[in-house]
Amino acid sequence: MVDLSAYKGIVFDMDGTLIDSMGAHIDAWKATCEAFGYPFDADYMYGLGGVPTRNTVKILNEKFGVSHSPDEVAQFKRNAWLKLDHTPELIAETIAVFHHYRPSLKIGIGTGAERRHAEQLLDHHGLLSQIDALVTASDVTHGKPHPETFLTVAQKIGVEPADCVVFEDTEIGLQAAKSAGMDCILVQAGKIQR
């Protein structure tokens, strides 16, 4: 078990870190990119994991010189994801950390997902009632890599940012954690990097 005795709070990213949902999101982005004429690159899209959907659309618009409506593209992507009828599983290594430290440390989740989606997914796995705070794309002005998501989680769980550790699966999430003044442990392909 990873030693987190130096911390008072843990902040988990959700998709790809606590819940194995990134594959379905990439499939939904593939369908969305094809529908809107964006060149699709799975690795690039994975790297944008944690960025709220509307912000991802803005990034894609800028990258490819187009001006699709962020709301329209985000709705299409959400519908594409729902059509997959995919219920993602928990990631064993991070959920073990979650349960091991739940009695002694404050735990929050900071995700680029919309609130309704995050609540449904966390509730499905019985985690929603076990966390001290949930901060989603619906709750912040600036998504990752901006530190607002993680700073808001720290505020809600009542722990100073320097006393929090973040578990993340993307470089953008790592940047957000570092900008928030928090240590960060990367999770890659479901494995905690030590």
User: Would you call 13 a catalytic residue per the annotation?
Assistant: yes
Name the phi and psi angles at 90, rounded to 5. -70, 150
C-beta of residue 108 within 8 angstroms of C-beta of residue 134:
yes
User: What are the DSSP calls for 10-45, one per residue?
Assistant: EEE--BTTTB--HHHHHHHHHHHHHHHTPPP-HHHH
Catalytic one of 3, 13, 41, 163: 13
How far apart are alpha carbons 171 and 47 in whole angstroms? 7
C-beta of residue 9 within 8 angstroms of C-beta of residue 108:
yes
Nearest to 112 by CA among 36, 48, 63, 189: 48
Name the phi and psi angles at 116, rounded to 5. -60, -45
C-beta of residue 22 within 8 angstroms of C-beta of residue 49:
yes
Active site residues: 13
